[in-house]
Structure 1
Amino acid sequence: MWNATKRRRALAVLLALLATQLGSLVDPAYACGCGAMVPDGFSRIGVARETSVVRWDGHTEQIVMRFTVGGDAKRAAWIMPVPSRAGVELGDPDLIPELGRLTRPEHKTRTYFWPRERDWPFSSGRLDGAGAARPGAGEASVGVVGRERLGDFDVARLTATDPDALGDWLESNDFTLPDRLASELQPYVDRKWEYVAVRLAPREQGATLGGELDPLRISFASDRLVYPMRLSRLAKSAQALGLYVLADHRMEPASPIGGAAPEVTFAGTVTPEGSLAEFTGGAAPVFLTAIDQRFPDPSRIDGDHELRATAKDTPFRQVVYRDELLTAGGVPVWLPTVAGALLVLASTAVTLLSVRRSRRRRHPSAATAPPTG
């Protein structure tokens, strides 16, 4: 009887552990800086970083997105709400690398006088003066505006008056998305936004989704600069967003929307050339603001990014310093300085000693003077 009871308990524990492991496989990891992304079946996918370019001229907004993903999924899907009818096409793959070059930090060298821990004589290195740096259902409530194949993307542009109907349409058309999507879509349905639903499927048969995907370009009319982020609260892993904003002025998020404080990594006027000129529609100077933000706990995201002009168009560029020991002719400046100071001290001491001896010879002391009387 006792052995039978122990066996039943052991079996229950084993089944519980097995259920936990199966649950971790069935529950996919989805992450996307602008919406929600899930893979198909039992596969897994994660968005390590989303980099986006936003262009706003006061009337029209354009967004170019590029995802860097990892995992073993062969297909995945995500959805992005937009405030008005959207146009979708493939983006220029050279655009984001070009902006990366324009906004890269400035590198400067600064010197220090006294040797540090890694310098001679504190280190075992040579005395070379080099301070090296460490450097279906509900169809009536869903309207299909358009559907097209763009590179690795199957794109559907949709309208919806019912979030549940939208979820049903997506599921019946192989856009597998999070179970809680309907409730998160409700604020967008209330505001009569539209949606861009995307299925990611590599053109190469049997290939998995990994690395940098093709950039996607979405454009829509908007009287304010908004970057949809609310659906990112469905993500189950920390998120990182890199945002390049091209507008008439320096721009900033109105609030952190539940993430870490946004960090400006570049701000300044640039003259578009090449892919950037094609994106902005000409060579006229435009103000570029580069923003980085992290979301350690995506569930705290409470809205979309709304960006506004700052009080002043103050330029900014990150500076990366390389510290070097101050040298002259390959010799640390502190070395001859210290040697010179020691020489001066020694010379002064010798001079003082010589003066004292000279005075003694000229004025013998009373102890050595001859007696009088």
Structure 2
Amino acid sequence: MLALTQLTALAWPAHACGCGAMVTADGSELLVTEETSVVVWDGDGTQQIVMRLTVDGDAAAAAWVMPVPGRAEVTLAEPELFTELDAVVAPERRVDRYFWPRPGDWPRAEQDTAGSSEGSAPPVEVVSQDRLGPFDVSRLAAGDPAALARWLENHGFALSGSLAGALEPYVAAGWEYVAVRLAPEGEAGGRGPVLSGPLEPLRLTFATERPVYPMRLSRLADTQQFLRLFVLADHRTTTEGTIGGDPVDVVFAGRLTPDELPRGALRQLVGEGRFLTLLHQDFPDPGRIDGDHHLVKAGSDEEFRRVESREELLTWGPVPAWQPVVGAPVALAVVAAFAVARVRRRRSETRPGAATGAQGEPG
């Protein structure tokens, strides 16, 4: 706790995202524009979190801090996992056709087809340091945030007072930290390119009594936060509460089996079969975030898939259906009237005395 109070004198910027805190060097900025994560819960006390961050800004390097409830194994994950997940949860697309024309349809207009200890805590040590692709990954033992500050300072970064304060609940709970330095490789002696676009995904595997997605550090964000969280478990999953955000929205819920998936990263995570739940949540006021998301079994395994529908004028080939339907009786009436008129004319021509010309009466 004493180390945390000492860190409050440091005021370099710290940007939060749903999975942890992003720290940049003095004078540079880095914005997490998108965060997508996958939680895999085996039900046996082992949890995986696969995260992909999309960033933008002028920072050539940054550090990212992720608190975890147990010692984590960190590896690179497969980027195609997220493409495969997006394909699975894509909404069903349906076209609803209507018969009678609407404004803009007349006569045959083209249709629009767009549609987050005390002093008796044990000493803190750096468990390991590894290079994974563009990441320098350090795993730090639990109990003392000063170790995290030392690591950051050695790499040119420092914790702000607000971030140090936000770490206090994790220190009290005995959590550990995964500290990741993001640094794209540049030319020798150069500053290197700025961090931009999707970063390579990372996989964290750790032991925990119940599945959790850390969110508490997101309360430091200055702008609205959005969480997109995939959960693979034995059953449909929900959260215990909203932790200060809007209600959690279920976007997809369905059981996956390996037979219905192509060979790839997702199929490996599904194993013999798992239930996939996709949760969305908005945090309009990140300062109200008051905890981490604890994931629990939903009340039922009811499946759900969104449907995106668009409306089109019903056509038969290139012709709107209403035209021949309405036009046919009119055409028949015209033909019938023409036929009747023709019959009447012929009858009038064959009536006695209808002949013309001067002829005398028989003598």
Instruction: Please report the TM-score for the alignment, with normalisation by the length of structure 1.
Output: 0.77
Picking from 124, 134, 144, the partner of 2:114 is 134
**1:97-136 alignment, distance < 5 Å:** 97-121=83-107, 127=108, 130-135=110-115
CA contact (8 A) 1:158 1:194 kept: yes
Equivalent position of 2:293 in the other structure? 305
Q: What's the CA shift for 1:245?
A: 0.6
Q: Which amino acid aligns with 1:295?
A: F
Q: Confirm or deny that 1:334 pairs with 2:322.
A: yes
Q: Confirm or deny that 1:52 pairs with 2:61.
A: no
**1:194-233 alignment, distance < 5 Å:** 194-205=176-187, 206-233=192-219
Q: Which amino acid aligns with 1:44?
A: E
CA contact (8 A) 1:81 1:193 kept: yes
Equivalent position of 1:274 in the other structure? 264
Q: Which amino acid aligns with 2:27?
A: F
Q: Confirm or deny that 1:188 pairs with 2:170.
A: yes
Q: Decide which moves more: 192-201 or 322-331.
A: 322-331
CA contact (8 A) 1:37 1:177 kept: no
User: 2: CA distance between counterparts of 1:182 and 1:344?
Assistant: 84
Instruction: Please report the TM-score for the alignment, with normalisation by the length of structure 2.
Output: 0.79
CA deviation string 1:49-76 (max 9, x = no partner)? 1111110011210011000000010011
Equivalent position of 2:140 in the other structure? 158
User: 2: CA distance between counterparts of 1:278 and 1:326?
Assistant: 44
What secondary structure, in the 3-state scheme, does the structure 1 residue paired with 2:161 have?
Answer: coil
User: 1: CA distance between counterparts of 2:254 and 2:285?
Assistant: 31
Q: Decide which moves more: 320-329 or 333-342.
A: 333-342
CA deviation string 1:89-114 (max 9, x = no partner)? 11111111111111111111111122
Equivalent position of 1:30 in the other structure? 15
Q: What's the CA shift for 1:339?
A: 4.2
Q: Decide which moves more: 337-346 or 320-329.
A: 337-346
What secondary structure, in the 3-state scheme, does the structure 2 residue paired with 1:74 have?
Answer: coil
What secondary structure, in the 3-state scheme, does the structure 2 residue paired with 1:50 have?
Answer: strand
CA deviation string 1:290-349 (max 9, x = no partner)? 1122222211111101111111111111111121101224322333444467789999xx
Q: Confirm or deny that 1:325 pairs with 2:313.
A: yes
Q: Decide which moves more: 111-120 or 225-234.
A: 111-120
CA deviation string 1:256-310 (max 9, x = no partner)? 2112222222111112442123334x3x111111112222221111110111111
What secondary structure, in the 3-state scheme, does the structure 1 residue paired with 2:17 have?
Answer: coil
CA contact (8 A) 2:248 2:279 kept: yes
Q: What's the CA shift for 1:226?
A: 0.4
User: 1: CA distance between counterparts of 2:206 and 2:293?
Assistant: 16
Percent same amino acid among aligned pairs?
A: 52
CA contact (8 A) 2:42 2:233 kept: yes
**1:170-181 alignment, distance < 5 Å:** 170-174=151-155, 175-181=157-163
CA contact (8 A) 1:28 1:45 kept: no
User: Gaps (5+ residues) in structure 1?
Assistant: 1-25, 122-126, 348-373
Equivalent position of 1:4 in the other structure? none
CA contact (8 A) 2:140 2:148 kept: no
1:261–1:341: structure 2 CA closer, same or farther, 3 Å change rule?
farther
User: Gaps (5+ residues) in structure 2?
Assistant: 1-10, 336-363
Q: What's the CA shift for 1:48?
A: 0.5
| Structure that is richer in helix per residue | 1
What secondary structure, in the 3-state scheme, does the structure 2 residue paired with 1:303 have?
Answer: coil
Q: Which amino acid aligns with 2:52?
A: R
Equivalent position of 1:359 in the other structure? none
Count of aligned positions = 313
Q: What's the CA shift for 1:235?
A: 1.4
Divergent runs of 4+, >6 A: 341-347
User: 2: CA distance between counterparts of 1:296 and 1:158?
Assistant: 32
User: 2: CA distance between counterparts of 1:70 and 1:308?
Assistant: 34
Picking from 294, 298, 307, the partner of 2:282 is 294
Q: Decide which moves more: 168-177 or 256-265.
A: 168-177
1:268–1:198: structure 2 CA closer, same or farther, 3 Å change rule?
same
CA deviation string 1:69-92 (max 9, x = no partner)? 000100111211111111111111
